[in-house]
Amino acid sequence: MSIRFIHEIRAYELLAEVGLAIDQWGVVKDQQNLATLPFVAGQGIVVKGTAIDVWHKSDLGLVKFDKFSAEAVWSHHETMKAAAASHGEYVGTLVARMVDFKKVSGMPCEALVALRKTADAGWTIVLGIGGILTNAWGEEIRPLLWPVALTTPEQALAEFKAHWLGKTWLGTMRQGKALTDETRLMTFFQGLWRLVDLLEQEGATLLEMNPLVLDETGRPIALDGVGTCEPLAMASAASAGLAPEQLFELLVQPKTIALAGISAREGTPGRMILDNLLRSTLAPGSIIPIKPGEKEISGLPCLNGIEDLAQKPVDMLILCLPAAQTVQAIEQLCAQGGGAQVVYLVPGGVGDGADSEGRGKRVTQLLEERRRQGLWTPALVGPNGLGFLSSEGNLNTLFIPEVKLPFMAKGGSLSLVSQSGAFLITRLSCAPQLPLRYGVSIGGQIDVRLSDFIAALGKDEQTQVVATYVEGFQPGDLLATAQAAQELARNGKWVVMYKGGRSAEGQAAASSHTGALAGDWELQKALLKRAGVIVCERMETYDAVLAWLSAHPKGKPSRVAVMTNAGYESVVSADLLEGPLQGHHLDATEAANLKALLVEHKLQELVAAHLPLDLTPMADEEAYLASARLVAQSAADTLVVGLVPLTMRLETWDGGKMQAFAEAMALVATESGKRLGVVVEAGPIFEPYRQALQRAGLPVFSSMERALQGLKALAER
């Protein structure tokens, strides 16, 4: 089925239905139409020849400006019909009133609005600078992106008011003059949302209006409009057939686990998984090896094959088999109608780049058919899964030996879901202090997908933060992920994401006639951020966000007090604290109390009693703690403490004293209920100092910039 073109005449008809078309216009196809045109002699008009698949009419001479007369319009019609003959089927000649639209000298005042439907995100409204320099302006002033499923006209208006074009139209720039008002803009945005519904009925996938201007009364109207209708199979996220609560219990709290693919050789994946499982605190008999021809392994009785699970079903089956045998095992489970609610697939070669035999398609078709028929079907995690860890039962199914990764999920507010197994284990290795509730490598998501994990973990009272790493979304799962994350955000929880594989094309303005002012990643990011996801585009920011949320998962920062013994950290903080994350200032009483405190610690000649507070290298632990207690009682919601430990006034050698100071500083946060983090900018010889602070439960950062960038990401949600 070919793509159908929405020509400008049809676009005007659609726009007229929602009140966004120009007030006077008509169409000429024959001479009888001339008498119906709503113009008076001599009135300024724009004449446009309209043909199928012609996007840029002016390039073919199909746009003319003139004074109205029937003779002039008919002459233009005949000329344009002939000019368009070799380019596409001629539809008719559009005649519209010439609009003396509102302008500001030297500034672009035209808009481009594109309504675009994609398989993963549904409808997105893109609004940016329009006119003939759309692409150039789009590089300098980024367009606004509104995923319709997660955005209201009211939200769109609020964001437009803060955009460069919105400020121009509303006259809120310095010495600006209002060209329109919020009432007219609200009517306009409501019209756009109605237009989406109309385009959905039309079977459209794109409608672009460029330019869209303010008429003489300040009403936004489209002067041009074209689009497309094309076959678009809207992807829907496949359901694993399990409610989030049930999936959570099976993934995080499995009572019985079977493992197939155990080699007698040490150091093989199956053997390492079994060794890690044996360190769990599961009840006796909960770990069930499957090894044909063996009665027991590592003191555990063995099952002979997958068929034995029919009589002895388990919560989870881990398959560490070659790809072909993995598929056979899944088929065996289905054939016998039970055996394992969740199957974790360790190997690759099933629905990924290494699958040259169509195994993945074979498996997905089997699952889909069984679910369609209402038959028992297992939920599959993976393939290419490196394993998972759960603080429930001290579970570890990674095929990484303890000597390489001596990490145990000790419980807490954080769960980590990673498409990449390597990402998961490197984060755990680099940050062993993370309060991990659950961590999982989800691999290729052949069945259970990112959105399923987020929804499942959102049902856990202990999990307050779901950190994710993803390289690509399965069909339909982008919107499902956003909706799952939005539900967590409503409940005061956090979803944090770092996405690999962002394309350069997704970050640049694109063709003005495709509605792709934003590439794929830009659209994905807009949808995710709209849902409340903290989207990090730098790994340093991701790690900083996790550090803050691991220690302080409740609330959102907005007012930050900084105290340090390094002057440059004060300067850096002043540069970064702006917008939604403001630097806090003490009131007169608090400043007087701080001044008295500085006198008590003999720092009055060195330190000014204001924030950011530069305590200088002469401050010792007692001065730090006293200052922190005082500042923590102010209206600041967050306290960032900079500790450059090279000064002799801070104890960095005696482990007991370091730990006592760390715990006293942590107590400041606990007693005040404030968010508190520590910056230690120094070399590796001060690692014990950092570790003492981390053991006390404080988030520790390597620079003031990283600490504040992490807070800024949280504040911008």
Contact 286, 311 (CB under 8 A): no
- Residue 521 has a pLDDT of 84
CA angle 163, 545, 623 (to 5 degrees): 110
Domain that holds residue 66: 23-97
The answer, yes or no, to whether the previous bond of 383 is cis (omega within 30 of 0) is: yes
CA distance 377 to 158: 47
In this structure, the answer to whether residues 560 and 695 fall within a common structural domain is: yes
CA distance 91 to 276: 71
Domain with residue 276: its CATH number is 3.40.50.720
In this structure, the answer to whether residues 37 and 123 fall within a common structural domain is: no
Burial of 1 (0-12, 13-18, 19+ CB in 10 A): exposed
Residue 461 inside a domain? The answer is yes
- Residue 325 has a pLDDT of 96
Both tokens of 277, joined, read 């499982």
- Tell which of 435, 470, 505 closes a domain: 470
In this structure, the answer to whether residues 395 and 419 fall within a common structural domain is: yes
- Residue 80 has a pLDDT of 97
In this structure, the answer to whether residues 130 and 79 fall within a common structural domain is: no
- Residue 232 has a pLDDT of 72
Q: Please, which residues bridge with residue 340 across strands?
A: 314
Percent of the chain with pLDDT over 70: 95
CA distance 501 to 504: 9
Residue 7 inside a domain? The answer is no
3-state SS record for 641-693: EECCCCCCCCCCCCHHHHHHHHHHHHHHHHHHCCEEEEECCCCHHHHHHHHHH
SS3 content of the chain, % helix, strand, coil (to 5): 40, 20, 40
- Residue 175 has a pLDDT of 76
Domain with residue 34: its CATH number is 3.30.1490
10-residue mean pLDDT series, the chain (717 residues): 85 95 95 96 97 92 96 97 93 96 87 92 92 66 91 97 95 89 97 97 94 95 94 63 91 96 89 96 95 93 96 97 96 97 94 88 95 95 96 96 94 97 96 95 95 96 97 89 96 95 48 42 90 95 97 96 94 91 96 97 95 96 97 97 96 97 98 97 96 97 96 96
Residue 105 inside a domain? The answer is no
- Residue 601 has a pLDDT of 96
First-to-last alpha carbon distance for the chain, in angstroms, is 42
- Tell which of 202, 229, 256 closes a domain: 229
Residue 63 inside a domain? The answer is yes
CA distance 238 to 416: 22
CA distance 137 to 132: 10
Residue 540 inside a domain? The answer is no
Max intra-chain CA distance, the chain? 100
Contact 47, 58 (CB under 8 A): no
Q: How many domains does the chain have?
A: 4
φ/ψ of 683, rounded to 5, equals: -80, -175
In this structure, the answer to whether residues 327 and 215 fall within a common structural domain is: no
Domain with residue 703: its CATH number is 3.40.50.261
Q: Please, which residues bridge with residue 145 across strands?
A: 126
Residue 512 inside a domain? The answer is no
In this structure, the answer to whether residues 418 and 333 fall within a common structural domain is: yes
Contact 429, 400 (CB under 8 A): no
Percent of the chain with pLDDT over 90: 86
| Amino acid residing at 364 | T
For 503-556, what is each residue's pLDDT tens digit? 554 333 333 333 334 457 888 999 999 999 999 999 999 999 999 999 999 999
CA distance 484 to 490: 10
- Residue 456 has a pLDDT of 96
In this structure, the answer to whether residues 357 and 257 fall within a common structural domain is: yes
In this structure, the answer to whether residues 428 and 382 fall within a common structural domain is: yes
- Tell which of 413, 441, 470 closes a domain: 470
Residue 485 inside a domain? The answer is no
Please spell the DSSP secondary structure of 287-338, one letter per residue: EEEE-TT-SEETTEEPBSSGGGGGTS-EEEEEE-S-HHHHHHHHHHHHHHT-
CA distance 179 to 157: 15
- Residue 237 has a pLDDT of 53
Per-residue exposure over 637-660, b if at least 16 CB sit within 10 Å of its own CB, e if not:
bbbbbbbbbebebbbbeeeeebbe
**The dihedral formed by the CA atoms of 197, 200, 206 and 210, expressed in degrees to the nearest 10:** -30
| Amino acid residing at 250 | L
In this structure, the answer to whether residues 48 and 195 fall within a common structural domain is: no
Residue 433 inside a domain? The answer is yes
pTM here is 0.88
What is the Cβ-side half-sphere exposure of residue 56, based on CA atoms within 13 angstroms? 8
What is the Cβ-side half-sphere exposure of residue 182, based on CA atoms within 13 angstroms? 11
In this structure, the answer to whether residues 87 and 131 fall within a common structural domain is: no
| Amino acid residing at 322 | P
CA distance 484 to 473: 14
CA distance 601 to 623: 6
Whole-angstrom Cα Rg for the chain: 32
Both tokens of 437, joined, read 């509730």
Contact 510, 520 (CB under 8 A): no
- Residue 107 has a pLDDT of 82
Please spell the DSSP secondary structure of 128-188, one letter per residue: EE-STTHHHHHHHSPPEEEEGGG--HHHHHHHHHHSHHHHHHHT-STT---SS-HHHHHHH
In this structure, the answer to whether residues 329 and 373 fall within a common structural domain is: yes
- Residue 682 has a pLDDT of 96
In this structure, the answer to whether residues 569 and 701 fall within a common structural domain is: yes
